[in-house]
Structure 1
């Protein structure tokens, strides 16, 4: 028998529905960046951004179809089939979360090096897209393998008939939480330091009268703004998740909060890119001309692209 919905579970269902509606738009953005990765979006910033969009889309799919809908509607039926559902969901969710956080951290470092070291910037960052994919997702591999081979159990919520997956071994579970928290703290620290350096460098450049200063004053700052907003979302997500984890909430309530937070964190970047990235916004509008910017955030050229199908 299906448990009666609580008000917070309607919120969970609402955010999951919004995420599903946003998903096709986000996939279109990711495809636009990928299809023009050698022309309009060939800079290292967009290579990192492409990996982040890939992780966000996977996170949304994993959360909606692996957690939100199953938890609310048919968790017991799935759990009766064995532990594979819980194993796949927990492994992927932890792996993707670590990859998202590290991708945001690399975006912050990317913007700092682009502004502070513009001359050697292109020599520091590789050009191969596959390298970024492997490097950004590398922190998630330990979670993927450890949880995949760990013992998985299903925990029944005391207030309902719903079943939730859990790592059976307390040491493994605590180790995963501890290692994940450590990675998040390191990422947040690097993000804060990177943007402190970035903002200080921008402030100094604005006071100069050189050609580089003029280009910085009049140039496009969309890449830096996008990266900053993404990293602010990363910090807020870490804070809210830390608060929820420390409150010892019932399993049902915890997932009702965790699921919307994951949906917001994964899909918000879609709207950030539309709002602050003119090339992506124009590409989605099927315009023929898209203004492209170089790694120093200045006008580079106008590239003609076909309409996005």
Structure 2
């Protein structure tokens, strides 16, 4: 492989990831807007959707930080600003580490939340019902709901 093919591959990956990030950014913002401004807020205020909203905000910040602090100098824009000192490099490393760590914690919390919903469904349903307003779900319907679920699987 020659130097030209490596340079072409690097530029193609940079432009490709930039295009994918810019295409996914409005979709991510739309999903966050829908979850935040839902017509029935009691449904979307449990722990799962709270973790999802936090993960979406973190994802938006990751896209913005990575595009501003990595793609800009990779494309040759403002190169003297990035080469004169360590401030931009250190701030990129700090932001990249902290945002990626937040993404990892968010994904872990979502996985634990879903695992408890699958492994301990009655406890998870009780916690969900306790956090919902009284009028949003009838407690008398709870046994018939579980009978319907059991009928589906057996």
State whether TM-score is above 0.5: yes
> For 1:6, what is the secondary structure of its paired residue?
helix
- Tell me the residue number matched to 2:21: 19
Distance verdict in 2 for CA 1:73–1:48, change over 3 Å: same
For residue 135 of structure 2, what is the aligned residue in structure 1? none
* Map of 1:28 onto structure 2: 30
* Residue 83 of structure 1: how far off its partner (Å): 2.2
Deviations 1:32-71 (A, max 9, x none): 1122283341222111111111111111111111112322
Q: In structure 2, how many angstroms separate the alpha carbons of the residues matched to 1:216 and 1:13?
A: 51
Count residues with an aligned counterpart: 134
The equivalent residue for 1:96 is 99
Contact conserved, 2:73 with 2:82, CA < 8 A, in 1? no
Bigger mean CA deviation after superposition, 51-60 or 28-37? 28-37
How far apart are 1:86 and its partner, in Å? 1.2
1:265 equivalent in structure 2: none
Query: Does the aligned pair in 2 maintain the 1:13–1:69 contact within 8 Å?
Result: no
Runs of 4+ in 1 over 4 A off after TM superposition: 122-125, 216-219
Which of 41, 44, 62 is residue 41 of structure 1 equivalent to? 44
Q: Is the 8 A contact 1:79 1:85 kept in 2?
A: yes
Work out which of the residue numbers 201, 212, 221 in structure 1 matches 2:146: 212
Deviation at 1:81? 4.6
What corresponds to 2:140 in structure 1?
Answer: none
1:117 aligns with 2:51: no
Aligned CA RMSD, in angstroms, stands at 3.1
Larger Rg: 2
Question: SS at 1:120's partner residue?
Answer: helix
Q: Tell me how far 1:97 sits from its aligned partner.
A: 0.6
CA distance in 2, matches of 1:73, 1:55: 27
| 1:106 has 2:109 as partner | yes
Cα 1:22–1:111 change in 2 (3 A) is: same
In 2, Cα distance between equivalents of 1:8 and 1:213: 57
Determine whether 1:51 maps to 2:83. no
5+ unaligned residues in a row in structure 2: which ranges? 1-5, 132-143
Structure 1 residue matching 2:121: 3-state secondary structure: coil
Q: Between Structure 1 and Structure 2, which shows a larger proportion of helix residues?
A: 2
For 1:60, the equivalent position in structure 2 comes to 63
Give the C-alpha shift of residue 110 in structure 1.
Answer: 0.4
Give the Cα separation in 2 of the matches to 1:69 and 1:111.
Answer: 38
More strand by share: 1
Question: Counterparts in 2 of 1:169-248, with a 5 A limit?
Answer: 212=146, 214-215=148-149
Counterpart-to-counterpart distance in 1, 2:63 and 2:117? 30
Paired position in structure 2 for 1:183: none
CA distance in 2, matches of 1:217, 1:112: 22
Aligned to 2:10: 8
